[in-house]
Structure 1
Amino acid sequence: MRTGYGVQTVRAAEAALMARLPEGALMQRAAAGLAAACSGLLGRTYGARVVLLVGSGDNGGDALFAGARLARRGAGVTAVLLAPERAHEGGLTALRAAGGRVLPAPGAVVEGVAAPVAHVLARADLVLDGIVGIGGTGGLRPAAVELADLVREAGVPVVAVDLPSGVAADTGEVPGPVLPAGATVTFGAYKPGLLVDPARELAGAVRLIDIGLEPHLPAVPEVEALQHADVARLLPRPQAESDKYRRGVVGVVAGSGRYPGAAVLAVSGALRSGAGAVRYVGPGTEAVVSRYPETLVSEGPPGHAGRVQAWAVGPGLGDEPAARQAVDEVLAGDVPVLVDADGLRLMDPDAVRARTAPTLLTPHAGEAAALLGTAREEVEAGRLAAVRELARRTGATVLLKGSTTLVAEPPGTDDAPTSPVRVNATGTGWLATAGSGDVLTGLAGGLLAAGLPALDAASAAAYLHGLAGRLATDPPAATDLAEALAPAWQDVLRGD
């Protein structure tokens, strides 16, 4: 499992560790890991040309010390200083001693010399972005923007030091200009901004360097990203004494005369969820049974369909009064309920807050914005804040779909503190296709019926759904995603 910690937490852990180490040892650990990662990316260090973009903080110091190590291995290293008078003194000394060059950024002067930065960048094999570290706020300043533009024009691969300059470490927000990276080398712990879009997309491949922080970090992180082994432990497995009822029955309320396919797709996900049986309620019985004859069907209402261990309600319901009545009836029950799509618009928020059984809401950014009374763009720009706030307001577990799928539980108490926000690592742009969310609804609802808590059901479903998107033939339709769920399960259980 990957765990992410905010800036204040990381700073406190660094301070605790530095109190036990000789002065400068922690920065040397970071620089050694950074230099090794850069050597691996270069393939050949001797004779390579490396440019360091150096700001005024410790981030710039990391870059300078790493540059010194690369220079000692035969690389030609040039440091471009954005604030020459505030550059890390020890790092500068080490770089010069190793044979590195120092130049000013455009608009600055070092040792009476103006920098031919564009010429240096045009010949570079690699750029290290050490402009702004995890303590930075806002986008890049004008001088840094000018330098970043030169880097982009030169087309040089960029390695970010700890995180790309200009992104918000705690939230993944991008408040202004930023220097995108092809790779990021981060130290001690993942930062939330490296796991959550829009910043995640700008970080490239992320490599974590162990500098000894783990014993000083709290047990509960701010965010966490499940991996294969974590999901494998969550997935239900039938026992020798299991029957279809013990494995869980999921009820699906979906589809309408206008959207019959939503019923078929939601059922397709539910049938591949590990639940023992699927009960479908709605007007799409003929379409569902013709495609999936193993489905138990009823034209409704949900209360007459038979006992279930969880409900998944919402995809393609439309606006008919019967649809609202079905949502109300499901929410009034005492079993876990997943609400998606039209169900989010039709549900009574007070009824959600009043429930004692688990509730899982699965909005996309537009639906989340409507529930929060804000603009879709605000949700997409600040996904962590949006999913936390929606969970707080509704008292439900929330799966926020999108380029980074997030799952958050409502705030806890002193006795039961809030769990980390789960970040899904398997998503792909191919999931942005009609009906994809309906498959996810059925899958997550089935995992609820199989007995998983809402947080785990949502997280495991998002993981399998994203993995299915990768395994399906490109470009996949929603039906292809459903077919790829079985291989995704096997892939996870094998530990591939």
Structure 2
Amino acid sequence: MTTDQMIEVDRLMIEVYNIELIQMMENAGRCLAMVAVEEFLKTALENKKVVVLAGNGGNGGGALVCARRLHSLGCNIYVYLANADKMTPVPNHQLSILKNMGVPIVDPEYLDKVSSADLIIDGLVGYSINGDPRGKVKDMIDWANEQEAPVLALDTPSGLDLTTGTVHNPTIKAAATLTLALPKHGLFEKKAVPKVGNLFLGNISVPPALYGTSTIGLLVSSQLFVESDVVRLS
């Protein structure tokens, strides 16, 4: 899909099927946690440290759901928010749950005090990227790219345009990416592939028939996620 098609998927999910953003966000975060455990953290989760980098929009909200699930599994979770004062309502709801659970919420200015981590979750910028990342988001991407810990990105490595494959400055260099609903064109562009890492597809419960509407025009099998809500693509 293109970014415009994904925007239309989100619209139809909410306006036609009454599948709300919070439900899609829950599914995204659940799938992301599955990849985090199965591909990176493996076992002895109580000994694993995970740094979650979250933006203020839907991408950040999915990362916060992942943080909650990994925390519940025993991982040591530290959440760093790019723009805590600009959180949109649904991600802010996810943030309030984490606060109630006692998960540490930290300002990104303290990232340089992080000594090590087993995994970094990138939920800074999703398909709404508009030019080069700036401000705190830029600083957080730069920090992540300097770490030895692998980075698992949600939907796209922050900084990568999902339609064109444009690699903005800076862009997360991910060890793996969980994209959502359907793969996006930009993930397969030659210059983008090294940033994407291993590619997974996550089920956010889009009805297959939705893709066949006149505004999207794609034929998608109902068997796409029959074996698992996460499908490895590369």
**TM-score over 0.5 for the alignment?**
yes
CA shift for structure 1 position 10: 1.1
Q: Quote the Cα distance in structure 2 between the aligned partners of 1:153 and 1:14.
A: 34
Equivalent positions of 1:44-63 (< 5 A) are 44=43, 45-63=45-63
Aligned 8 A contact 1:10 1:217 in 2:
no
Can you list the C-alpha shifts for 1:411-435, whole angstroms capped at 9, x where unaligned?
A: xxxxxxxxxxxxxx99xxxxxxxxx
Tell me the percent identity.
Answer: 27
CA shift for structure 1 position 11: 1.6
Q: Quote the Cα distance in structure 2 between the aligned partners of 1:89 and 1:199.
A: 31
Match of residue 165, structure 1, among 147, 158, 161: 158
C-alpha distance 132-211 of structure 1, shift in aligned 2 (>3 A): same
Tell me the residue number matched to 2:211.
217
Tell me the residue number matched to 1:94.
97
CA shift for structure 1 position 144: 2.3
Aligned 8 A contact 1:139 1:167 in 2:
no
CA shift for structure 1 position 16: 1.7
Can you list the C-alpha shifts for 1:106-163, whole angstroms capped at 9, x where unaligned?
A: 2xxxxxxxx2x1222x321111111101111112214223222222333111001100
Can you list the C-alpha shifts for 1:309-345, whole angstroms capped at 9, x where unaligned?
A: xxxxxxxxxxxxxxxxxxxxxxxxxxxxxxxxxxxxx
Aligned 8 A contact 1:71 1:95 in 2:
no
Can you list the C-alpha shifts for 1:185-219, whole angstroms capped at 9, x where unaligned?
A: 11101111111121122100010012222321247
Match of residue 195, structure 1, among 182, 188, 210: 188
Q: Quote the Cα distance in structure 2 between the aligned partners of 1:201 and 1:153.
A: 16
Tell me the residue number matched to 2:130.
137
Between Structure 1 and Structure 2, how many residues are aligned? 209
4+ residue runs over 6 A deviation? none
Q: Quote the Cα distance in structure 2 between the aligned partners of 1:35 and 1:169.
A: 22
Are 1:119 and 2:113 matched, yes or no? yes
Q: Quote the Cα distance in structure 1 between the aligned partners of 2:121 and 2:54.
A: 8
**Aligned amino acid, residue 210 of structure 2:** H
CA shift for structure 1 position 12: 1.3
Q: Quote the Cα distance in structure 2 between the aligned partners of 1:135 and 1:22.
A: 19
Tell me the residue number matched to 1:39.
37
SS at 2:146's partner residue? helix
Equivalent positions of 1:336-485 (< 5 A) are none
Tell me the residue number matched to 1:14.
10
Q: Quote the Cα distance in structure 1 between the aligned partners of 2:34 and 2:63.
A: 12
Q: Quote the Cα distance in structure 1 between the aligned partners of 2:168 and 2:71.
A: 35
Can you list the C-alpha shifts for 1:166-203, whole angstroms capped at 9, x where unaligned?
A: 11110111132211101001110111111112112210
Unaligned runs of 5+ in 2: 219-232
Q: Quote the Cα distance in structure 2 between the aligned partners of 1:139 and 1:180.
A: 15
Aligned 8 A contact 2:124 2:158 in 1:
yes
Tell me the residue number matched to 2:26.
28
Are 1:153 and 2:146 matched, yes or no? yes
Tell me the residue number matched to 1:207.
200
CA shift for structure 1 position 9: 0.9
Equivalent positions of 1:292-331 (< 5 A) are none
Unaligned runs of 5+ in 1: 107-114, 222-424, 427-496
Structure number with greater CO (CA < 8 Å, separation at least 6) is 2
Equivalent positions of 1:166-181 (< 5 A) are 166-181=159-174
Q: Quote the Cα distance in structure 2 between the aligned partners of 1:181 and 1:33.
A: 17
Aligned 8 A contact 1:162 1:187 in 2:
yes
C-alpha distance 154-174 of structure 1, shift in aligned 2 (>3 A): closer
C-alpha distance 119-21 of structure 1, shift in aligned 2 (>3 A): same
SS at 2:46's partner residue? coil
CA shift for structure 1 position 22: 5.1
SS at 1:166's partner residue? coil
Instruction: Tell me how large the CA RMSD over aligned residues is.
Output: 2.0
C-alpha distance 132-22 of structure 1, shift in aligned 2 (>3 A): closer
Can you list the C-alpha shifts for 1:347-397, whole angstroms capped at 9, x where unaligned?
A: xxxxxxxxxxxxxxxxxxxxxxxxxxxxxxxxxxxxxxxxxxxxxxxxxxx
Aligned 8 A contact 1:171 1:192 in 2:
yes
Equivalent positions of 1:283-294 (< 5 A) are none
Can you list the C-alpha shifts for 1:425-458, whole angstroms capped at 9, x where unaligned?
A: 99xxxxxxxxxxxxxxxxxxxxxxxxxxxxxxxx
C-alpha distance 142-23 of structure 1, shift in aligned 2 (>3 A): closer
**Aligned amino acid, residue 94 of structure 2:** G
